[in-house]
Amino acid sequence: MTILYNKKEINIDNPKSVIDIINILKVIPNTVIVLKNGKIVELNERVNPEDKIEVIKVISGG
């Protein structure tokens, strides 16, 4: 499925849940927000191929 990661499209093979996506992206859960069909979801949320998933990185520095 195609997801949006910081506004860039990324292909991920058949993730079953949000945690699968987090693991594939190799990001720390606390440093991202995941939206499923526009709603904030938890890590254990199940995902289907037709869902619109967006992962937003929240860490910034300087």
Partner 1 sequence: MRKCKFCGKETGIFLREHRLALCEDCYPGWIEKQVDRTIKKFNMLNKDDRLLVAVSGGKDSLSLWQILKKLGYNVSGLYIDLGIKHNNYSELSKEKVINFSKKIDSSFYIISLKDEGLDSIDRISKIYRKTCSACGAIKRYYMNKISVKEGFNVIATGHNMDDEVTTLFGNLIQWDESYLDRQFPVMPSGDGFAKKVKPLVFISEKQSAMYALTTGIDYIMDECPYSKHATSISYKENLNMLESKHPGILRFFLNNFFNSKSKKGLQIEGSKLEIKECKICGAPTYLDICKVCKIKENINR
Sites of contact with partner 1 (CB under 8 A): 6-7, 28-33, 35-36, 39-42, 45, 56-62
Nearer to partner 1, 13 or 61 (CB): 61
Tell me the C-alpha distance between 45 and 57, whole Å. 18
Quote the least distance from Cβ 38 to partner 1, whole Å: 10
Quote the least distance from Cβ 24 to partner 1, whole Å: 17
Quote the least distance from Cβ 43 to partner 1, whole Å: 9
| Burial of 62: CB neighbours in 10 Å, binned 0-12, 13-18, 19+ | exposed
